[in-house]
Amino acid sequence: MARPSGRPAGEQPVIPLRFGDDALLWASWLYHEENMTQGDIAAEMGISRASVNSYLAEARARGLVTVEIEPRQFRALTLAGALRERFGLEDCLVVPTTGGERSLIARLGAAGAQTLARLVRSGDTTAVTWGRTVLALAEALRLPGLTDLRVVQATGGTTAKIPWTPEACASRLAEAMGARCIPLSAPAIVSSAAMRDMLLAETVLAEQMTVLAEANRIVFGISSLRPESTIHTSGFFEGIEHHHYEERAIGSIAGRFISASGDVVGGPLDGRTIGLDLAALRAIPQRVAVVGGSDKVPAVLGALRGGYASVLVTDAVTGWGVLAADGWTEPPRREALAAAPRALPLRTQTKKLLNDPRQAVDEALEGAFAAHRDLIAPVPRAPRAVRAVHGPRPGKVGVLIGGGAGHEPAFWGYVGAGLADAAAVGNVFAAPPPAPILAAMRAIDGGAGVLCVYGNFSGDVMNFDMAAEEAAEAGIAVRSVVTTDDVASAPADAIGSRRGVAGNVFVFKVAGAAADRMMSLAECEAVTRRAAARTVSMGVALERGSMPETRRPSFALGPGDMEIGVGVHGEPGVSREALASADAVADLLVDRLFDEMRLRERDRVAVLVNSLGGTPAMELYVVHRRVAQRLRARRVEVVSSLVGPYYTSLDMAGVSLSLIHLDDELADLLAHPCRSAALSVP
């Protein structure tokens, strides 16, 4: 007997959003992935069993289904289904993160437009927030033939310095839908709570707020709290000092703040904001969130945990990141279950040479000090602050680098003559606290100031900034360069959201050489910033790494898979593909970096083929062989090459490729002599 479909009797079935309008794909998914019988499928789809059989046969004939559904569609469907089930969504659409000439924002906008076109009905009132993705949705939407539609702003107006204001998003969406546009005739932020109450009492605004309360649907984006995020660029915080909300908030929706669990976080603008609050947003029957980008994973997860979205449109990297952060693991597929031979129980933990895992970072540093006592020493009373034994030099800019442990030989391995003067080290994959950073700044200040260089991770940025503020109060001039070389972690139009990874090695080298040549603090900052802007990296993992305390892998990876675009903190990548040859992996990395660099004939580069921790030198040199071939074919000169474990991720097996596009000054600084535990140039 077929299982009940859960629809009222007589109601026509609607193909779930993630299958588009493809009934064959829907039937194939239900049969091959959800293990439903043909009778179950007939009941679910509202068709005859004979039609189901015909659909499945046609799907095989068209090549939609062979042994498995086409991989990219399968991954998107897997993620969409998992997100829908895990967070109780009405529906979910997942689009590829990369591919084609359009930016991720444009593709998300198009997917959001496709979603909205399927949902809107005559007589609807749709509220809309603001942002890049929301505006892209409005510009992609074409929805003729409906009547009596209203589009209403969800918040008051913001700064006119940006094109994606609430007014622009609402008016463009109304135009695309043939709807009447209802603005909110007031700023989003007013000077006081009393002013807000006075404005809300005005007849015109009160009528507009009444329409907003009648919305049966809202379309919104979700903002991270990075400096370049929508909430910041929209002018919400102009004139607002730092507030304790930053300690708990991980994102914002319609100018309101949420925590990692989805709770409302009080902020500095409470009582002064005109527009929809989060309780009212959650009460709207249909809530369509259109959002993507790996930097937004914590904010999206918080929004889903808080129940703010009922329909989600996102990209594969973001969807995967949200599920992984919430503890989801990909289930085995029907064919895999059927074909799997009986095997011995799998080992679930990695063997490690440790004593107490909680002491691993300090014991490793103790061993480094003993092995390299001619190069490095701990800063007194701050053992996680590592300094060069020779220094500081009067009148020389001090160079400070740092970040979490687990990347050895980074960061202490790049402390020495002609390189960094000090490094601050945190726990495994965690930012160093402000205290050792400040201690290192004081230890290396030679009167010319300190230049800090570190990767673009929220904890590092926050803690280095805090230490810099304290150093400034003590009379130490501090400048910072934040590295963003990981091209897989964010699209080209959001470079400020990218992570800093193995390309750090080139940036550290340039900064150290500039300081060693007694350049001024401003000159050191400028050339280091240029080096960071001209450095790109991307990695591939073959085996996942494991943390010292748990000894468990950081993400699931099948025996025949490789993870593309993996992060150095154990983050999953942007896609998962079948394990390929060394040349194919090298080509994949080179092609992606070439897309970013736009190298021309006779340009010069330096190359870093880096082990992520568990890949031996033999394999790295095989990869480097192919990288060198590709650069030679493009008539690009390789000035220098580094091959080895320069910036690792514990015991992860895999490789990353970094290229720096050189000019005369950068090439000269890379050749400047240096000596450290990890890198020496005679």
Here the tokens at position 635 are 């008539």
Query: Is 407 designated active site?
Result: yes
Q: How would you classify residue 657: left for phi > 0, otherwise alpha for psi between -120 and 50, otherwise beta?
A: beta
- Nearest of 486, 448, 482 to residue 465 by alpha carbon: 482
Quote the CA–CA distance of 506 and 660 in Å, as a whole number.
7
DSSP 152-189: EESB-B--TTSS--HHHHHHHHHHHHT-EEE---SBSB
Look up residue 49 and give its amino acid.
R
Helices (H) and strands (E) in the chain, counts: 22, 25
Please say whether the beta carbons of 552 and 348 come within 8 A: yes
Select which of 32, 569, 624, 661 is catalytic: 569
Bridge partners, residue 95, by sequence: 315
Bridge partners, residue 219, by sequence: 128, 288
Here the tokens at position 597 are 């660099």
Select which of 242, 372, 390, 407 is catalytic: 407
Please say whether the beta carbons of 204 and 185 come within 8 A: yes
Decide the pairing of beta strands 637-644 and 653-662.
unpaired
**What is the 3-state secondary structure of 292-340?**
CCHHHHHHHHHHHHCCCCCEEEEEHHHHHHHHHHCCCCCCCCHHHHHHC
User: Residues of 648-667 as b/e, b for ≥16 C-beta within 10 angstroms?
Assistant: bbbbbbbbbbbbbbbeeebb
3-state SS, residue 582: helix
Here the tokens at position 237 are 């915080």
| Rounded to 5°, angle at Cα 622 from 618 and 626 | 165
Residues 6+ apart with CB under 8 A from 105: 132, 133, 136, 292, 491, 493
- Give the E-state strand segments of 582-676 in sequence order: 604-611, 637-644, 653-662, 674-676
Quote the CA–CA distance of 360 and 362 in Å, as a whole number.
6
Here the tokens at position 214 are 């009648």
Quote the CA–CA distance of 290 and 256 in Å, as a whole number.
17
Specify the DSSP class assigned to residue 626. Answer: H
- Nearest of 179, 177, 170 to residue 144 by alpha carbon: 177
Q: For the chain, how big is the Rg over CA atoms in Å?
A: 27
Neighbours of 260 (CB within 10 A): 17
DSSP 390-457: S-PPTTPPEEEEEEEESSTTTTGGGBEETSBSEEEEEEETSPPPHHHHHHHHHHH--SS-EEEEEES-
Query: What burial class does residue 482 get, using C-beta atoms within 10 Å of its C-beta: 0-12 exposed, 13-18 middle, 19+ buried?
Result: buried
| Rounded to 5°, angle at Cα 168 from 164 and 169 | 75
Known catalytic residues are 407, 569
